[in-house]
Amino acid sequence: MWVVLDNVFGKKGDKMDILEIIEKKSNGIELNKAEIDFAVMGYVNGEIPDYQMSALLMAIKLKGMTDKEIIDLTDVMLHSGDVIELGFDSIDKHSTGGVGDKTTIVLAPLMAALGVKIAKMSGRGLGHTGGTIDKLESIPGFQTSMTLENLEKQVDDIGVALVSQMGNLCPADKKIYALRDVTSTVDSIPLIASSIMSKKLASGASKIVIDLKVGNGALMTTLSEAKELARVMVKIGQLSGKETICVLTNMDEPLGYAVGNALEVLESIATLKGNGPDDLNDLVINLGSLMLYLDKGTPIEEAIEYVENALKMGSGYEKLEELVKYQNGDLAGIKVTDKTVEVLSDKDGYIKHIDTLKIGEIARKLGAGRLTKNDVINPAVGMVLHKKIGDKVLNGESLVTVYYDDKPVIVSDVLDAFTFSENEVSKPELIYEIIK
């Protein structure tokens, strides 16, 4: 049975003032836990408005936080609502977000098919990065909300559930998460670490694997930043008694070929049927083997073989069908717009670089992401790349198919995202480092 632990709320000091807290952090001074609690819970309770919390978030982004502040912020966000203890061990996988990152939709049913219980709560798109919940909602009828009782029953029945943040779990993160998306405070190590780890700890996961994206399409653009974020998250996990592994992976080009919600679900289906792109296959195999190792103690080499075989056999797709049926979705009803534009190369050469951030922003402007927190996602739009880094391209050959609806397609913007070389270019490395 799941158990909801008591809420823990800090007490506000009589003389505390949000303006003083903003000023203190703007001057790079460490905040104590009472001040962090006052600011966060004041915002959750509606006593502190968006504009003041935005100012504090920007101060945190610019001045950073100490480890103690980050741990305190995580704890306040974790205990801003209910904390769940599931009646079974569940391995959680999280991605810090990237362009074309549909890994969870492939990995969750695949691991369930291998006997790993997955009770996963996912988020919506943040900035130029896509969100798993937005992608799942492109499946007609798919219900991303359910009660905790139904979550546990579903995992008992079929081994997997993919849902949005439910009930009163981390309401502070939910509210701050939406604000960060529209205030240019997404790429902040303290805010990313506390957001991810508060959700993971609140949702009852026994152990955690984090796919930490690095590159021009990720929140962390350099390896040094990514290693620091990984260090902080692993430390938070260890202090909370949850074994945590961070895998630093390449986001200098979109993952797979599809970018956009329905398009990415279709590519996920193809992958589960054994016809996925090489980079997505490799990432799923690597992350899946770590999850199998954490859950069952399977040696990594054996775990890799199990995951590879499950992909080839299509057992993950069968589990996806079960998952979608349980959550009232209709895989056959997935639709993409029939309006398309082919973006053709204007030269011969090899793809040397892809501006992944630009690709993500173009998809966002087409309607695949949000420009304001109240925007409605258009699941039918996006892009499918036909060439990746290292591929040879001929003049006039299609680089990208753009799927659009009511937003204009600016072909020159898409072309500008690609840099060419006359010489052969090596395929990029996918996995940089594993941090435990």
> Which has the closest alpha carbon to 214: 251, 254, 178, 239?
251
Contact 130, 99 (CB under 8 A): yes
Token readout for 129 is 């990065």
Candidates 135, 180, 200, 319; catalytic one: 180
DSSP 33-92: HHHHHHHHHHHHTTSS-HHHHHHHHHHHHHH---HHHHHHHHHHHHTTSBEEE-SS--EE
Alpha carbons 220 and 202: distance in angstroms, whole number: 24
298-to-207, 218, 281, 295, 307 alpha-carbon distances in Å: 15, 31, 20, 8, 11
Residue 94 known to be catalytic = yes
Give, to the nearest 10 degrees, the angle between helix 189-202 and helix 50-63. Answer: 110
Catalytic residue among 195, 268, 289, 345: 195
Whether 199 is catalytic is yes
Catalytic residue among 25, 79, 93, 94: 94
Determine whether 373 is an active site residue. no
Reply yes or no on whether 252 is catalytic. no
- Residue 180 among the catalytic residues: yes
Three-state DSSP state, 179: helix
Q: Which of 25, 199, 200, 227 is catalytic?
A: 199
Would you state the structure tokens that stand for residue 117, as one six-digit string?
A: 């219980």
Of the residues 75, 82, 92, 173, only one is catalytic, namely: 173
- The residue whose two tokens read 């011969």 is 348
What type of residue is 76? V
User: Is residue 333 classed exposed, middle or buried when 0-12, 13-18 and 19+ CB atoms within 10 A define those classes?
Assistant: exposed
Do the Cβ atoms of 93 and 291 come closer than 8 Å?
A: yes
Q: Distance between CA 113 and CA 105 in Å, rounded?
A: 13
3-state DSSP assignment of residue 191: helix
Indicate left, alpha or beta for 426 from its phi (over 0: left) and psi (-120 to 50: alpha): beta
Burial class of 166 by CB neighbour count within 10 A (0 to 12, 13 to 18, 19+): middle
Indicate which residues carry an active-site annotation: 94, 173, 180, 195, 199
